[in-house]
């Protein structure tokens, strides 16, 4: 643990570094942040902080740069809450205004707003409804051998998929079957669906493959990893000096285009309300000078998806956290009306 003065100096260094991305010197701290102390005193403290692993020195006669450990400490102990100004609130609330019918579009919008208000890159996962309550199941024939399985939950129709059906089933049979499925699944969660469908099958008999493909489609449905991830605001990343080196920019963009990697990144923090991963904690070497702040959003009180912001390690954490908090509220509110979909 650091004593008060060291913590205060470390905070000043991190604050300044977040602002400028330049190594911070003792004189700067003394003049701009802690005028009661002379630069010499601060120099001594900085020397200690370096020894403790909180600061790095790019070369022996330059200012100090906060290490990953300093940011960890900053995030855990030093950081103060930030609040949004009215303009930012207005922009976020603006998402309410335009009626959005398609989930796809809502996610794209969310990603843009998130990226533009933070000036970093953003990640948004579509909602997964493993735990959502089923409202209705309907099978709509497409061709003679295929049909569309539509699953409506309390959060709207979140996805739909193609299933194979035996040839020669009449529309009315499928309609009837849909009604029976709806009757037996309604108000249950997707997790319970499999056994309920099987129960219905053993009761009704009939087309084994049909029931099997329904079960399979529902399983896929609950599996979040099949869903993709919306990425926004990559352009903002290139504006930060840490990416003035094209090689770095390239590997970052590479990482941001690998949806799988992003997915495990978001998934790792599970349902935790607000998670921060910094530098090496990101796992991937491509992202070792990035940080990710992510949060969940809810439908009907249950976590169904994640919002995240990826920025450089020296990102403005308090602001990002404030934006994310607000966004999750807005998005959760929007989705809880249960009328939006696809």
Partner DNA sequence: TGTTAGCACTCGTCGCCATCGAGTGCTAAC
Partner DNA sequence: GTTAGCACTCGATGGCGACGAGTGCTAACA
Residues of this chain that bind DNA (CB under 7 A): 23-28, 36-41, 43-44, 46-47, 50, 57-64
When CB distances are held under 5 to 8 angstroms depending on the partner's kind, the choice from its own copies, DNA, none that residue 44 binds is DNA
Q: Which stretch binds its own copies (CB under 8 A): 7-15, 82-90, 245-253, 323-331?
A: 245-253
Q: Minimum Å distance from CB 317 to DNA?
A: 23
Output 67-75 pairs: Cβ under 8 A, ≥24 positions apart.
Answer: 68/278, 68/279, 68/280, 68/281, 68/313, 70/10, 70/13, 70/14, 71/14, 71/278, 71/279, 71/291, 71/313, 71/314, 72/278, 73/2, 73/10, 74/10, 74/11, 74/14, 74/317, 75/276, 75/278, 75/317
Q: Minimum Å distance from CB 62 to DNA?
A: 5
When CB distances are held under 5 to 8 angstroms depending on the partner's kind, the choice from DNA, its own copies, none that residue 254 binds is its own copies
Q: Does 238 bind its own copies (CB under 8 A)?
A: yes
Q: Mutual orientation of helices 190-204 and 208-222 as an angle, nearest 10°?
A: 180
Residue closer to its own copies by CB (options 83, 342) is 342
Residues making up the chain, counted from first to last:
342
CA 267 – CA 274 distance, rounded (Å): 13
When CB distances are held under 5 to 8 angstroms depending on the partner's kind, the choice from DNA, its own copies, none that residue 40 binds is DNA
**Which residues does 254 contact at the CB level (< 8 Å), separation at least 6?**
286
Residue closer to its own copies by CB (options 32, 337) is 337
How many residues contact its own copies, by CB under 8 A? Answer: 47
Q: Which residues bind its own copies (CB under 8 A)?
A: 101-102, 104-105, 108, 135-136, 138, 140-143, 145-146, 148, 150, 152, 156-157, 159-162, 171, 175, 179, 228, 232-235, 238-239, 243-244, 246, 249-250, 253-254, 257, 259, 338-342
């Amino acid at each position: 643990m650091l004593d008060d003065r060291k913590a205060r100096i470390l905070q000043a260094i991190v604050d300044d570094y977040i602002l400028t991305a330049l190594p911070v010197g003792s004189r700067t701290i003394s003049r701009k942040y802690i005028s009661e102390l002379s630069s010499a005193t601060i120099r001594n403290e900085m020397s200690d902080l370096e020894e403790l692993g909180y600061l790095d020195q790019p070369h022996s006669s330059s200012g100090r740069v906060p290490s990953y450990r300093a940011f960890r400490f900053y995030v855990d102990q030093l950081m103060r809450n930030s609040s949004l100004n009215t303009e930012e609130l207005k922009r976020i609330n603006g998402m309410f205004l335009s009626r959005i019918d398609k989930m796809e579009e809502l996610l794209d919008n969310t990603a843009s707003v998130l990226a533009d208000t933070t000036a970093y890159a953003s990640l948004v996962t579509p909602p997964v409804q493993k735990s959502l309550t089923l409202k209705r199941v309907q099978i709509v024939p497409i061709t003679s051998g295929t049909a569309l399985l539509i699953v409506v939950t309390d959060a709207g129709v979140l996805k739909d998929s193609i299933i194979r059906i035996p040839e020669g089933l009449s529309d009315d049979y499928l309609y009837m079957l849909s009604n029976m499925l709806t009757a037996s699944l309604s108000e249950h969660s997707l997790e319970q669906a499999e056994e309920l469908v099987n129960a219905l099958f053993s009761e009704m008999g009939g087309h084994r493959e049909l029931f099997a493909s329904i079960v399979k489609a529902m399983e896929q449905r609950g599996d979040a990893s099949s869903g993709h991830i919306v990425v926004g605001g990559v352009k903002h990343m290139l504006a930060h000096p840490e990416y003035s080196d094209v090689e770095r920019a390239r590997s970052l963009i590479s990482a941001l285009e690998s949806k799988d990697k992003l997915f495990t990144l978001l998934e790792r923090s599970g349902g935790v309300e607000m998670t921060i991963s910094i530098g090496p904690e990101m796992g991937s070497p491509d992202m070792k000078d990035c940080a990710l702040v992510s949060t969940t959003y809810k439908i009907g009180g249950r976590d169904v998806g994640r919002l995240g912001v990826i920025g450089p390690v020296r990102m403005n954490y308090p602001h990002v956290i404030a934006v994310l908090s607000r966004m999750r509220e807005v998005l959760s509110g929007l989705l809880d009306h249960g009328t939006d979909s696809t």
